Amino acid sequence: MKTLLVTGGLGFIGSNFIRGSLNSGFCERVLNLDKQTYAGNPENLVEFARDSRYEFVLGDIRDAKLVSAVLEESKPDALVNFAAESHVDRSIDGPEPFVQTNVLGTLHLLEACRGHISSGIMKKDFRFLHVSTDEVYGSLDLQDQPFCEKTPYAPNSPYSASKAGADHLVRSYYHTFGIPTLTTNCSNNYGPYQFPEKLIPLMILNAIEGTPLPIYGDGGNVRDWLHVEDHCSGIRAVLQGGRLGETYCIGGNSERTNLQIVDEICGLLDHLRPEKAPHADLKTFVQDRPGHDRRYAIDFSKIRDELGWGPSHTFEQGLALTVDWYLGNLGWCESIASGNYQRERLGVT
C-alpha cells in the first residue's frame, strides 16, 4: 500500500503497527492522527520523527472537520482505526470518555469516509479497518468453546460495551452505505511499549521496584495472550486479503490465568535479577473488580484458513522478549511514571 491513515497511532498497538508497516515496506507513507491522551506517547515513535515517510497530526477523531481535511489531503489506501479508550478499570471509574471516543469517534470517522467516497475523492480500493477486542463477546466458562466471528455479543463492562457499539456501527455502514469496512477482534495483547497500567508491564515494573504485585480475586481469570507484533501482522493480512464487510478474530493460542502470568514473570526475573529473588513473594491478592469476565479465548481458524495467518511467537518466547524490552527501556518507563512525556506535549517545565 502507498499511504495509510492510522488513528490512535501513538498508543501501544498503533505505534507497533506503524513501526512494523514502515520497517517491513508494507506501505510507503503513514499519517498518524492521534489526540495524544495519557496513553499516547510520542516517544513510542521517536525514531520516525525526522522520517519523511511519517507524519503526525494532533487531533481528535471526533473532530469531523479535521478528519475530513486529513482524508482529502492524504487520499489513503486504507484507514486503520486504533483510536480508543481501552482500560476496563478506567471505564468503571468513568464510562463517558469511552462512549465519546469509541462510539462517537468511530461514527465520525465512518461519516467522513462516507462523504469522501460518495464524492469520489477516495480511492476505489479504499479500506476502512476497525480494530476491536474479544471483550465484546462477554465471558466464557472454562469448558466453553473459544470465541469466533459468529459468537453473539454480550459485553460486560462499559469499555467492552462501547467497543461493541463501534463494531455494530462499522457493520451497519457496510450493509447500509456500502463503506468498504473490515473488523478485527483480538485477544489480550502484550509486548513493547505497552502502557504500564496493563497486567504484564505492571507486574514487570512492580517486581523490578520490589513493590506488591496486585492480583484480582483468586488470580484464576483466563486470557488468551497475543504478542503485539503478531496482532499487527494479522491486521496487515486482513488489509491485504480480507473480504469486505467481514470480521476476523485474531488470537494467540496462549490461554493463561492471571496467576500463571505473574508466576512466569517472577520466574524470568528471578533468573535475570537473582539478587531480588524470589519475586513471587511480592504477590498480593486484592478485591476483584466489578463484572470481571472469567475467561476469554479466540478461535482464529477463519483468518488462518482464508489468509494463511498464524502467530509466530509462542507465549514463552514473547514474554521473555517483553521482559527483556522493559529491562532495557527503563528510561521510557520512568518518563511515563514521572509524567514527563505529557509535560513535553503541554509545554510544561
Give the model confidence (pLDDT) of 168-192 as tens digits. Answer: 999 999 999 999 999 999 999 999 9
pLDDT in tens, 96-138: 999 999 999 999 999 999 999 988 888 889 999 999 999 999 9
Between CA 34 and CA 247 the distance in angstroms is 24
Instruction: Return the amino acid letter for 120.
Output: G
Note the pLDDT of residue 340.
Answer: 61
Cell 470517522 belongs to: 109
Indicate the average pLDDT of the chain. 94
Measured CA to CA in angstroms, residue 205 lies from 107, 168, 271 at distances of 37, 37, 16
In which band, very low, low, confident or very high, does the pLDDT at 347 lie, cut at 50, 70 and 90?
Answer: very low
Instruction: Report the CATH fold assignment for 3-190+227-253+293-313.
Output: Rossmann fold (3.40.50)
Residues designated catalytic: 134-135, 159
Measured CA to CA in angstroms, residue 48 lies from 36, 221, 321 at distances of 16, 38, 23
Cell readout for 211 is: 513493590
Q: Is the pLDDT of residue 336 over 90?
A: no
Between CA 228 and CA 155 the distance in angstroms is 23
Q: Is the pLDDT of residue 311 over 50?
A: yes
In which band, very low, low, confident or very high, does the pLDDT at 342 lie, cut at 50, 70 and 90?
Answer: low
Between CA 211 and CA 276 the distance in angstroms is 11
- Helix (H) or strand (E) holding 26, with range, is none
pLDDT in tens, 30-83: 999 999 988 889 999 999 999 999 999 999 999 999 999 999 999 999 999 999
Report the predicted TM-score, pTM, of the whole model to 2 decimal places. Answer: 0.94
**Domain spans of the chain, in order of start:** 3-190+227-253+293-313
Mean pLDDT of 319-339: 92
Instruction: Return the amino acid letter for 256.
Output: R
| CA atoms 196, 197, 198, 201: torsion sign | positive
Within 13 Å and on the Cβ side, how many CA atoms surround 178?
6
Q: Is the pLDDT of residue 349 over 80?
A: no
Strands (E) located in 48-141: 54-58, 78-81, 127-133
